[in-house]
Amino acid sequence: MANLETSTDASRVIYLDSSQATDNLSGVASAGESRKSTSVMFQLQEAIVVPPHHSILASIHSCSIPFSFYNFQTGRNTTLKFGRSNDGVITSVVNHTLTLKQGNYNIRTLIDEVIASVNTYYSKTKSTGLNVVFNPSTLKNEWIWLEDGKRLTLMFMKDQTTNFKEELGFAPNNFIAGLSDALTNETGYNFWMERDGTTTRIGYDDGTTSTIILSQLGGVSTPIADPLSFFSVVDVNYHIRSLYVRTNITQHSVLDSAIGCRFSNILARIPITASSGGELQISPSDGAVHTLALKVREITFISVRLTDKDNILIDLNGLDFTIAIQFDFIETPEVVAPIDKRKKIEARQYHAFLKSQGKGKAVELKEFVSQEENKKFLNV
């Protein structure tokens, strides 16, 4: 049944609570994980109908989202593959994959996980294997591998889609950026470190060709400061600086650079302004929110998804969210359709003919008059 109030142009606000959704669209939860509450559908018992000669606008009226999600989430950025080879030898063999537990990490707890995983696997310590130090002055990591005669490779090729290279300081803007052979490479690069007793080197390879970016004599034993701005500033929140509200009703108003600046289903971007354990909120008092024009005449259901910038579902870890969407109706101008004089004359003649036929053509006459009235205006 349609909502009769939509025959007016007043605003409508619909309040949605994910715990009250008609259906959860996030799929079956993996073993040991809670089912995500961030992809839900609401069936409307009363459809929202756009009145004739009106358009409909949508915007976020308010929302309340618990900051119970993590900056490192399974399926997004929790893996790091590494391998070891002889000094000077490129390797594509993955010896081990570090898989982080979902959670909130800062840069120091993150590099501790990397150091422990690598050194434990190869039975090394910070003084004989991998050592990484975060430099608070530059906001960058400094790296060194101390095993003589061996090369350690961190696998950052583009097929490693769930690694956390950007969080470690290997964002594409800096890592290999600007080097001549990087511009034509489609597969990405790996980062390596090696030592031969008298020389410490770091560099990169594309699986075929290895390039040295720093060769330091003297057998240094401490992590090396960033050479040639090779590393980027670390960013443990690289994938989760904002949340995106996506719906089925917003398909033609927002363009997204993540999909080639094509139209997307984004309704709004929610900046993360709270701390973990807090709550992200938008309220009417926050002022104007971006309003989107919708290309629909009737809304019978609304699906809502909360995602990161890469359109991966956020996991609220068992908690729910609420969101209110405001709909505004605006009257659209009526444009007089151009009149074809020849057709107008023919219509008059046909109208006169129908009238002359009396009751026998009464039904046809009524339909003809109705059709002519509808032709006078075009709803735009």
What is the extent of the structural domain holding 83?
Answer: 79-217
pTM: 0.77
134 in any annotated domain:
yes
Q: What is the pLDDT along the chain (380 residues), one digit of tens a residue?
A: 344 444 455 788 999 999 999 998 877 655 555 678 999 999 999 999 988 888 899 999 999 999 999 999 998 999 999 999 999 999 989 999 999 999 999 999 999 999 999 999 999 999 999 999 999 999 999 999 999 999 999 998 877 789 999 999 988 777 765 454 444 456 678 999 998 878 889 988 888 888 888 888 766 777 887 766 788 899 999 999 999 999 999 877 777 767 777 778 889 889 898 988 999 988 876 655 678 888 888 999 999 999 998 899 999 999 999 999 999 998 887 766 666 666 666 667 766 776 677 666 666 656 656 666 555 544 33
83 and 210 inside one domain: yes
What does the alpha-carbon distance between residue 9 and residue 51 come to, in Å, rounded to a whole number?
8
Residues 162 and 60 in one domain: no
Return d(Cα 333, Cα 227) in angstroms, integer. 63
Do 98 and 210 belong to one domain?
yes
Is residue 234 in a domain?
no
Query: Do 92 and 145 belong to one domain?
Result: yes
Residue-level pLDDT at 173? 72
Residue 44 and residue 74: Cα distance in Å, rounded?
Answer: 33
Contact 41, 303 (CB under 8 A): yes
100 and 29 within one domain: no
**Quick one: pLDDT at residue 362?**
61
Based on the fold, state whether residues 316 and 340 are members of the same structural domain.
no
Asked if residues 98 and 82 have their Cβ atoms less than 8 Å apart, the reply is yes
If asked whether residues 56 and 101 sit together in one domain, one would say no
DSSP state letter for 208: S
Q: Does 131 reside within a domain?
A: yes
**Strand pairing report for 150-155 and 79-86:** antiparallel
- Phi and psi, residue 369, nearest 5°: -60, -40
Helix (H), strand (E), coil (C) string for 130-170: EEEEEECCCCEEEEEECCCCEEEEEECECCCCCECHHHHCC
Total tally of structural domains belonging to the chain: 3
- 222 in a domain, yes or no? no
- Considering the domain architecture, whether residues 153 and 100 belong to the same structural domain is answered as yes
Answer yes or no: is 103 within a domain.
yes
Q: What is the pLDDT of residue 4?
A: 41
Same domain? For 321 and 340 the reply is no
Q: How many CB atoms lie within 10 A of CB 42?
A: 17
Are 14 and 104 contained in the same domain? no
User: Is 233 contained in some domain?
Assistant: no
Look up the CATH number of the domain holding residue 263: 2.60.120.1100
Cα gap 225→278, rounded to integer Å: 36
pLDDT for 208: 87
Structural domain includes residue 50: yes
Q: Are residues 102 and 213 in the same domain?
A: yes
Question: In whole angstroms, how far apart are CA 204 and each of 190, 336, 354?
Answer: 5, 67, 86
| Residue 232 within a domain | no
Do both 289 and 364 map to the same domain?
A: no
Contact at 8 Å (CB) between 220 and 263? no
Q: Of 145, 161, 143, 162, whose CA–CA distance to 100 is shortest?
A: 162
